[in-house]
Chains A and B, each alone.
Chain A
Amino acid sequence: MQVERYEDQGTTVYKMQGRLDAHQVPALKSLIEVVPPGIVLDLAGVNFIDSTGLAFLVGVNKRARESKIGLKLRNLQDPVRLILEMVGLYDILPIER
């Protein structure tokens, strides 16, 4: 998984490329910082997500909510969107539409 971090109008954007799965999540946990005022996870380059990846997104969402920091998931690809719909997370996670 490659992660590019940049600032966009005060928001920290993490542009992710690769598989969001059990092999990648341990390294991602230290890479993705939930920093004020808000962060965006740009998932344009993510075409696979497994249950560990879903748990990671839920964990980031929880940390952001608890710290009152904005979070957006951007550019969901169809395979990821389908999985989120299947498990009932599509309407729960803050997805930019």
Chain B
Amino acid sequence: MSLPPQQLEHDLEATAEALADCYDRSVFLERLMVRTARLSSVSDLLELLGEAAGELGCRGIALFADGAWRGDVPGWLARYPAPERRFRERGQGLHGLPFGRGWIALWGKEAGLNAYDARIADALAQMVGAAWENLEAQALRERLRLQEYERQLAGEIWRTLVPAEVPAPEGYGLYSLFQPAREVGGDFQTAHGAWRVLGDISGKGLPAAMHSGLLTGLMPLILSQSDPVAAMVASATPALERSEVFATLALLHLHPEGRVGWFSFGHPPLLLRRRDGLIERFRASAPPLGLFPPANHDLNWLRLEPGELLLVYSDGLIEAEGEQGLYGLERVAGLLAQHPRPQEFLLTLERDLSGFSIVDDLSLQLYEFRGTA
């Protein structure tokens, strides 16, 4: 039995419309996939969702992700708890489509979503879920890139503030190591006239480096005062106390004829190598800077003869870690006793340290008194 021509024509038109509609949806889905893969911001994602709502014939669409609505939502929707499953609420014609980190709310289609729309909406929710995770990974990469840039910049600024080398004072040879544990460090050194300073801020990394930069910057002013110890306590203590850090610091005033005035705020012992190889140790004369004011501000004095060596170093040297324990003060003193020539001492020390792990900033200044001509 054949259909009347009019009926046949009607059926053919209906089939053609359905095919065209199907094609349009396929094109829409294809565009959705491509654009989802290229999203670079949350506003891109919201724009895409707006287009999807139009395609599905809905009045509104909203995105809830990671505990918050993204963009403006109507008051009645804001109160909805995040659903665990897909749901439909007839009052507002609301469809809730959950994905891993949130859900999509679609509303305002009077006839509701048909089965075909519902499949597209499900696909949309899955793609939004993937896009959201991509955006988050992208934001994390950008944050890390920015942090790395800032870290490098901080390193450059710190290296400008804290010199890696200081000049030898008149009458002395100066041999040094200056090796921060990271890009920046808490050790610092500076020179001002006959004054030399080697210091170490407690802690590591950027916070310690900010203080080491601050103290280095203050030093020329401090060392120009008639009582540099008092000036140091007065100017450095407030900032150090606020941050609950302290500084150990050795302050030297090296006269060209071999007299050396020194003050040590909790710094590891200064080691003096006499010409006969005897090692003298000069222990801290006050607690670390930033803790308690010293009982007196007077410099201590020692005298060097030509060829004698004075070693100042930070705790990173004696706290280098080996399999048998820390490198230690005795080992440093022993090496210094065996080596009257500064270059040989440094070469041997570096070789000896190669079996140790240096976990802290390491700095060292070795002064050789050469005598007046």
User: In the complex, which of the residues A51, A59, A79 has the most CB atoms of chain B within 10 Å of its own CB atom?
Assistant: A51
Nearest opposing residue in chain B for A87, CB measure: B266
Chain A residues with CB below 8 A from B200, complex form:
51
How many A-B residue contacts, CB cutoff 8 Å? Answer: 57
Q: Does A52 contact B (CB under 8 A)?
A: yes
Q: Does A54 contact B (CB under 8 A)?
A: yes
B266 touches A55 (CB 8 A): no
Report the minimal beta-carbon distance from B52 to chain A, rounded to whole angstroms: 46
B287 touches A92 (CB 8 A): yes
Chain B residues with CB below 8 A from A62, complex form:
244
A55 to B267, CA, bound (A): 14
Report the minimal beta-carbon distance from B53 to chain A, rounded to whole angstroms: 47
Q: Does B268 contact A (CB under 8 A)?
A: yes
Interface size on B, residues (CB 8 A): 26
Given known pairs A51-B248, A55-B202, A58-B246, the reply for A88 and B269 (CB within 8 Å) is no
Q: Does A86 contact B (CB under 8 A)?
A: yes
Q: Does A43 contact B (CB under 8 A)?
A: no
Given known pairs A50-B315, A50-B319, the reply for A87 and B288 (CB within 8 Å) is yes
B292 touches A54 (CB 8 A): no
A88 to B289, CA, bound (A): 11
Report the minimal beta-carbon distance from B76 to chain A, rounded to whole angstroms: 42
Question: What 0/1 readout, one digit per residue, does chain A (56-73) give for beta carbons within 8 Å of chain B?
Answer: 001100100000000000
Q: Does A22 contact B (CB under 8 A)?
A: yes
Given known pairs A50-B315, A50-B319, the reply for A88 and B288 (CB within 8 Å) is yes
Query: Which secondary structure dominates where chain A touches chain B?
Result: helix
Report the minimal beta-carbon distance from B51 to chain A, rounded to whole angstroms: 47
B244 touches A55 (CB 8 A): yes
Q: Does A89 contact B (CB under 8 A)?
A: yes
Question: What 0/1 readout, one digit per residue, does chain B (313-348) give for beta carbons within 8 Å of chain A?
Answer: 001000100000010010000000000000000000
User: In the complex, which of the residues B186, B201, B288 has the most CB atoms of chain A within 10 Å of its own CB atom?
Assistant: B288
Q: Does B284 contact A (CB under 8 A)?
A: yes
Chain B residues with CB below 8 A from A55, complex form:
202-203, 244-246
A51 touches B292 (CB 8 A): no
A89 touches B204 (CB 8 A): no
B residues at A contact (CB < 8 Å): 186, 200-204, 244-246, 248, 266-269, 283-284, 286-288, 291-292, 315, 319, 326, 329, 360
A-B residue pairs, 8 tightest by C-beta: A51-B202, A87-B266, A55-B202, A88-B287, A88-B284, A52-B203, A59-B244, A88-B266
Known: A22-B204, A87-B287, A87-B288. 6 other contacts (CB 8 A): A51-B203, A55-B245, A86-B269, A86-B284, A86-B329, A92-B292
